[in-house]
Amino acid sequence: MPLLTVKNLSLGYDGCRVIENLNFSVNEGDYLSIVGENGSGKTTLMKTLLHLQKPISGEISVSDGLKPDEIGYLPQQTQVQKDFPASVREIVLSGCQSSMGLKPFYGKKEKALATKNMELMGISDFKNRCYRELSGGQQQRVLLARALCATKKLLLLDEPVAGLDPVVTQQMYETIKELNDSGITVIMISHDIGAALEYSTHILHIGKDVFFGTKAEYIKSDKGFPASGIELGTGLSQTEPAFREVKSYA
């Protein structure tokens, strides 16, 4: 049974429809990359999946085994968030709030989970540092540790490598793949077609036309690209024409 199913979903904002009759499903253990042109509705879809925005029509259903406190979310960072004056440990701990119910203070369980996820993300050494003093890559690892404190099953990521240098970007992709390999289902918005094709199991391409299927099916479709024209994992092509084609979908 799918972990999440979308049926005939129509979305929009400011009175403008951007997605019509969208259908797809995500099974446990999948790694779904959502790609498409700017303004095609990728972030709107993500917010709708999180019930932060209402759809115009259609239905989103989740399996009985998926609870709200088992979903983690890493949104795009704003400048205000980058300058947030809190310690790394405080921010990671805040990811536990959704599962605490009416408890007013963090207990041993929450503190142990935060410690575990800081170790997993390699940020334990600066757990007492102020978040705004960190590099962009370090901040993303902090936010990912926070999201992991909120999830046991499903992780939603909105452009998690935006603004990061190539080395840190590759490290972040590898980290997300390791989380997926450990059993966490991933849904990620990405502009990096090459990385999407290397790490994902499925692709959802939204725009004028919609494609949903495995990455192998995507490559063969008129939305995809010849495998020989893309250097997987870098988002860069092996030939200049293919590179221009990749960029046209960014």
pLDDT digit string, tens, across residues 186-206: 999 998 888 999 999 999 999
Quick check: is 179 in a domain?
no
Question: 């990620």: which residue's tokens?
Answer: 188
Question: 């936010």: which residue's tokens?
Answer: 143
Q: Across all residues in the chain, what is the average pLDDT?
A: 83
Q: Is 70 helix (H, G, I), strand (E, B) or coil?
A: helix
Residue 51: predicted pLDDT:
87
The amino acid at residue 80 is: V
Quick check: is 221 in a domain?
no
How far apart CA 210 and CA 18 sit, in angstroms, is 12
Task: Express each pLDDT in 125-180 by its tens digit.
Answer: 999 999 999 998 899 999 999 999 988 789 999 999 888 889 989 999 999 999 99
Task: Express each pLDDT in 26-60 by its tens digit.
Answer: 999 999 999 988 888 899 999 999 888 899 999 99
The answer to whether 185 and 153 are in contact (CB under 8 A) is yes
Residue 89's domain comprises 77-152
Closest to 200 measured CA to CA, from 186, 211, 210, 220: 186
Quick check: is 93 in a domain?
yes
Residue 137 DSSP label:
H
List the alpha helices (DSSP H) in the chain: 42-49, 79-82, 88-93, 108-120, 136-149, 166-181, 193-199, 215-220, 240-248
Domains of the chain: total: 1
Quick check: is 182 in a domain?
no
Quick check: is 249 in a domain?
no
Residue 181: predicted pLDDT:
94
Residue 241: predicted pLDDT:
29
| Residue 200: burial class (beta carbons within 10 Å; 0-12, 13-18, 19+) | buried
**Does this model's pTM top 0.85?**
no
Quick check: is 245 in a domain?
no
Quick check: is 146 in a domain?
yes
DSSP string, 176-235: HHHHHHTT-EEEEE-S-HHHHHHH-SEEEEESSS-EEEEHHHHHHSTTS--GGGEETTTT
How far apart CA 92 and CA 84 sit, in angstroms, is 13
Quick check: is 200 in a domain?
no
